[in-house]
Amino acid sequence: MPRYDFRCRSCGATFELSRPMAQANDPAVCPEGHQDTVKLLSTVAVTGAAGATGAAPQPASGGGCCGGGCCG
């Protein structure tokens, strides 16, 4: 079940809710009981761009051939 980040505009608290995607846009209530909340963008989208540079070399060098030096 995906998790969604919300921020309360009444007290400024941020909180996380796990809910079905069908309810992603439903209003969320702050843990303090406030109803003036906004849904934040997923952190997955933010880290995706930065992780692309670090993740690329791993599958390229993961083969068994180059490990033995036959490709060098």
Residues that bind Zn ion (CB under 5 A): 8, 10-11, 13, 30, 32, 34
Measured from the CB atom, is 11 or 55 closer to Zn ion? 11
Rank residues 12 and 57 by Cβ distance to Zn ion and give the closer one: 12
CB of 30 to Zn ion, least distance (A): 3
Q: How far is CA 9 from CA 33, 52, 60, in A?
A: 12, 33, 45
Distance CA 19, CA 28 (A): 10
**Residue 28 near residue 9 (C-beta atoms within 8 A):** no
Joined tokens for residue 25: 């846009």
Closest approach, Cβ 4 to Zn ion, in A, equals: 16
Shortest distance, position 15 Cβ to Zn ion, whole Å: 8
